[in-house]
Amino acid sequence: MATCKRRREVVVGIFLLITAIVIDPVPARRDLTLSGKSNDVEFARAPRGTVKTVQSGGGDVVDCVDIHKQPAFDHPLLKNHTIQMKPSFLEEGESHLQGLPAELEEWGVDCPEETVPIIRKTSENGPNVKDYVPSFLVDDVKSSHNKSFSILADFRQGHEYAVVQTNGKGTFRGSQAHHNVWNPSTEIGEISVSQIWISAGSGENLNTVEAGWIVLGSSPVTRFFTYWTSDAYKSTGCYNLDCPGFVLANNNFAPGFVFQSISTYGGKQFSVDIQIKQNWWLRVYNKNMGYWPGSIFNSLTGGGSAVTWGGEIYNSQKSGHHTATQMGSGHFPRDGYFTKSAYIRNLAFIQDNGPMRSVPKEALVSSVTKRQCYDLVMGPSGIHFGTHFYFGGSGLSAQCP
């Protein structure tokens, strides 16, 4: 990702709009009886292998699908794949048997053993919503901060970034960080993201695994998402479970879940701990979600060549000016740090064959595509946030026309 463009075509709202379901005041986790009809209140067809249908605490309709019939195994390279139910790399003190974290308890579902939860697509998030084309990652425009670091946006495609990235050589076999969770304002057909990328390869062999939170198309909710590609976003890869590839390995939560607790400006703060380890397990709140099998990649099989953390927005310029879509909290770092600007803290990585360790500041370079619209400031050393940074901004303004 660090040296090449990226393109990912996705239908806005394909998985991220909340369903119009009336739910109890207390988060409901119950079986559903469906009428078989299909309208804005009812539901689309259940996926193959559905054993039962439940409702999450956030109101999502969730199908409990036979773990062996989940979408991942439609991938031609996973036809004979043996499911891993836990990572092989668990370190001392870690457990794959832990209960559902408190942060997920309200949304979480209780699917039966040997099934996995898949959020149902409804008529509300169908393909009639306007498409958008995310950007490439380019290597022909250099960062103003470091001539060896490619900035992560193609201005013609409208994507803008405020990110930090590893600047040293080596092989990266994992990474993690705590992402401050917000619900920034976004315009219809646009996105606001906070995420982590691990990437390897170049040209058509660019591979990435990605995870974070996303707000899409004026949605009232912030959702967790995953993404991957094995050919520079051309024909492989997708968000969440929208194509075969990512293997779910738990029966309580899935990509696309809604964050129940959101940070408030000047008030209480919430964050999500995201960890990715080769080959390529995703852990959220220290709970195993699932993994991208190494066999679906060509460049990432031996590890990543770069790790990136930060914010991204899409600027459609549909009205002839910059978007009003916010990044992070919607406030710049200069407006104030903790409780005011979004942060990503306790950056860590696994480099070569070493352990997971804090990322030294000197191992990072930063890039911001349009500082008058969004910005990034590294945080001070010597506090419990470890290596961290603040980022974000308001978008459209007198300074960001």
Answer yes or no: 312 catalytic.
Answer: yes
Query: Which residue, among 160, 154, 136, has the nearest Cα to 208 in the 3D structure?
Result: 136
Q: How far is CA 333 from the centre of its chain?
A: 22
Burial-class residue 202 by CB neighbours within 10 Å (0-12, 13-18, 19+).
middle
- Which of the following is catalytic: 103, 187, 190, 312? 312
Rounded Cα–Cα distance for residues 353 and 345 (Å): 23
Question: Which residues is 148 bridged to in the sheet?
Answer: none
- Which of the following is catalytic: 105, 114, 210, 362? 210
Specify the DSSP class assigned to residue 268. -
Measured over the CA atoms of residue 261, residue 262, residue 267 and residue 273, the dihedral's sign is positive
Question: Which residues is 313 bridged to in the sheet?
Answer: 160, 192
Answer yes or no: 210 catalytic.
Answer: yes
Dihedral angle computed from the Cα positions of residues 190, 284, 387 and 391, in that order, rounded to the nearest 10 degrees: 20
Helix (H) or strand (E) run with residue 104 in it: helix 102-105
Look at the block and give the residue holding tokens 């036809």: 79
Helix (H) or strand (E) run with residue 274 in it: strand 271-277
Tell me if 344 sits within 8 A of 389, measured CB to CB: yes
Return the CA Rg of the chain: 20
Collapsed DSSP state (helix, strand, coil) of residue 294: helix
Specify the DSSP class assigned to residue 124. G
Tell me if 162 sits within 8 A of 310, measured CB to CB: yes
Specify the DSSP class assigned to residue 256. T
Catalytic residues: 210, 312
